[in-house]
Amino acid sequence: MKEELIKLDQILPQVAEGKEVLWRNPKVIPFEEAKKELPLGMEDILDAEGRLERFAPLIAKLFPETKSQGGIIESPLQEIPSMKELMEKKYGLDFQGGRLFLKRDSDLAVAGSVKARGGIYEVLKHTEDLIGHRKDWADLSKEELKDSLSEYKVQVGSTGNLGMSIGIMSAALGYEAIVHMSKDAKEWKKEKLRSQGVTVIEYEGDYGEAVAQGRRESDQDPKSYFVDDENSKDLFLGYSVAALRLKKQLEDLEISVDDTHPLIVYIPCGVGGAPGGIAFGLKEVYGDNVKVFFVEPTEAPCMLVGLATGMHNKVSVQDLGLSGNTHADGLAVSRPSGFVGKVMEPLLEGEITVKDSRLYDYLRDLKASEEIFIEPSSCAGFQGPLMTIKEYPEHFFKQGTHIVWATGGSLVPEKTREEFYNTYL
Ligand SMILES: *Cc1c(COP(=O)(O)O)cnc(C)c1O
């Protein structure tokens, strides 16, 4: 199988050897053209944004830490000039006037990761589907919520962060929440979930197995809803709202985005939902003036393999002889979402891969230069500028705004952070 597969794209022999690569997507086309074929559009993103606004008063009530933002869960966009300087010196990069920003989804309220976007949105959407639109969400007491929702279950399979987002939100609304976790999931995440009243079921196998088993159990119960990370349009749309929020933040910072000042965005990718949703939203907002790259571990580059072979969810990284094992637990996915892969085909600029050892270097670099902690998976984005600046001499990158999307970290306990700072592979 491997021998046949690596013939499908010239990057694949290197990918199969576990090398770090930058792959330019040959199928990316002008957005005006791509748009015609997309299954979703701006009206879907606006609908999702509206739903988050309807629920905002309730979120503010259930999670007091969101009160100051009126129950809107959003993260800061922060310029990181010291990290830029460090990268220029340490890695021999030249940003040539380009600026470097960190989108701090690592600090999103409630779930401490990008999953707060999709996961929370999907639970809210499901709640509306169950008991209808209402204007008075915030007037309901916890007991009233529990009375309407406790007979229903919400279940999900997860390597960790999606489980945290869905589990915490579902339990807070009064659902019976069950999270099926793979072997990659960290102990502290399981403990945190249990402390919030979520049932955690552990599996010896990988993410795919936890999902399959979780789905089987959920399907046997008519009052149970299974969040399908691989195919969910709702998750995807929850993530896409990030683009509208980012647009506002860039405007506030008076950063222009046009054909001489492109936005170049690097997002860590697991199954594809989070980076896919964000990328789709950004394309709808900025069209060809945004270039989006996904970043994956060299041992688990499932979206790259799916796109480069054109086989999407019909192929796994094991088919290419890779292990699928990575320290980046949020990215430890062997088979990509077919739904996301097909949407991304005409939109994605390219794919970049990164070795695990570098994730810890970037983690220490960011801490040392900016005093910011993010988790290893989340550090993958820093491989982005490293690869694009070296490999794209074209003018458009020179005055670009580079955004590294930090996808998780704020809930990581201090002890685990110390372990990360001291991990050298
Ligand atoms: C889930 C996750 C991602 C990637 O999201 P997918 O939807 O799986 O592609 C990236 N970083 C972190 C920290 C995550 O938890």
Q: How far, in Å, is the centroid of ligand 1 from the Cα of 353?
A: 15
Dihedral sign computed on CA atoms, order 264, 242, 152, 172: positive
Mutational pocket test of ligand 1: of 377, 379, 383, 410, the residue with most ligand atoms within 8 Å of the beta carbon: 377
Q: Is the pLDDT of residue 266 over 80?
A: yes
Model pLDDT for residues 90-134, shown as the tens digit of each residue: 999 989 889 999 999 999 999 999 999 999 999 999 999 988 877
Mean pLDDT of the region 346-365: 98
Task: Say whether pLDDT at 367 is over 90.
Answer: yes
The secondary structure of the chain, three-state, reads: CHHHHCCCCCCHHHHHCCCCCEEECCCCCCHHHHHHHCCCCHHHHHHHHHHHHHHHHHHHHHCHHHHHHCCCCCCCEEECHHHHHHHHHHHCCCCCCCEEEEEEHHHCCCCCECHHHHHHHHHHHHHHHHHCCCCCHHHCCHHHHHHHHCCCEEEEEECCHHHHHHHHHHHHHCCEEEEEECCCCCHHHHHHHHHCCCEEEECCCCHHHHHHHHHHHHHCCCCEEEECCCCCHHHHHHHHCHHHHHHHHHHHCCCCCCCCCCEEEEEECCCCHHHHHHHHHHHHHHHHHEEEEEEEECCCCHHHHHHHHCCHHHCCHHHHCCCCCCCCHHHCCCCCCHHHHHHHCCCCCEEEEECHHHHHHHHHHHHHHHCCCCCHHHHHHHHHHHHHHHHCCCHHHCCCEEEEEECECCCCCHHHHHHHHCCCC
Query: How many Å lie between the centroid of ligand 1 and the Cα of residue 293?
Result: 14
184 vs 271, higher pLDDT: 271
Ligand 1 centroid – CA 22 distance (Å): 20
The rounded Å distance from CA 148 to ligand 1 centre is: 31
Instruction: Check residue 396 and give its pLDDT.
Output: 62
Residue 234 pLDDT greater than 90, yes or no: yes
Ligand 1 centroid to Cα of residue 98, in Å, is 26
**How many A from CA of 104 to the centre of ligand 1?**
14
In whole angstroms, give the CA distance from residue 78 to residue 253: 10
- Looking at ligand 1, which residue's alpha carbon is closest to its atom 1? 330
Q: What is the value of pTM for the model shown? A: 0.97
The closest-lying atom of ligand 1 relative to the alpha carbon of residue 303 is 9
302-332 residue pLDDT tens = 999 999 999 999 999 999 999 999 999 889 9
What pLDDT band is residue 390 in, cutting at 50, 70 and 90? Answer: confident
Residues 6+ apart with CB under 8 A from 401: 98, 99, 101, 250, 255, 257, 261, 262, 263, 264
Question: Residue holding tokens 């996904």?
Answer: 294
Residue 395 clears pLDDT 70, i.e. is over it? no
- For residue 275, give the ligand 1 atom closest to its CA: 9
Beta carbons within 8 Å of 320's beta carbon, 6+ residues apart:
2, 5, 6, 12, 15, 16, 305
Tell me the pLDDT tens digit for each residue of 37-54.
Answer: 999 999 999 999 999 999
Render pLDDT for 297-306 as a digit per residue (tens, 0 to 9). 999 999 999 9
Q: Which of 117, 294, 407, 412 to mutate to test the pocket of ligand 1 (most atoms within 8 A of CB)?
A: 407
How many angstroms does the Cα of residue 145 sit away from the middle of ligand 1?
30
pLDDT in tens, 75-90: 999 999 999 999 999 9
Residue 230 has pLDDT above 90, yes or no: no
> Each residue of 56-73: pLDDT tens digit?
999 999 999 999 999 999
Over range 200-226, report the average pLDDT.
Answer: 91
pLDDT of residue 185: 80
Query: Cβ distance 53 to 121 under 8 Å?
Result: no
**Mind listing the pLDDT tens digit for each residue in 169-189?**
999 999 999 999 987 788 899
Q: Are 293 and 299 contacting, i.e. CB atoms less than 8 angstroms apart? A: no
Mutate to test the pocket of ligand 1, among 104, 108, 114 (most ligand atoms within 8 A of CB): 114
**So what's the pLDDT on residue 399?**
81
Residue-level pLDDT at 142 = 83
Give the separation between CA 425 and CA 359, rounded to whole angstroms.
10
> How far away, in angstroms, is 164 Cα from ligand 1 center?
12
- Residues near ligand 1 (Cβ within 6 A): 113-115, 161-162, 268-275, 330-331, 333, 375, 377-378, 407-408
pLDDT of residue 143: 87
Does residue 391 surpass a pLDDT of 90?
no
Q: What percent of the chain has pLDDT over 70?
A: 99
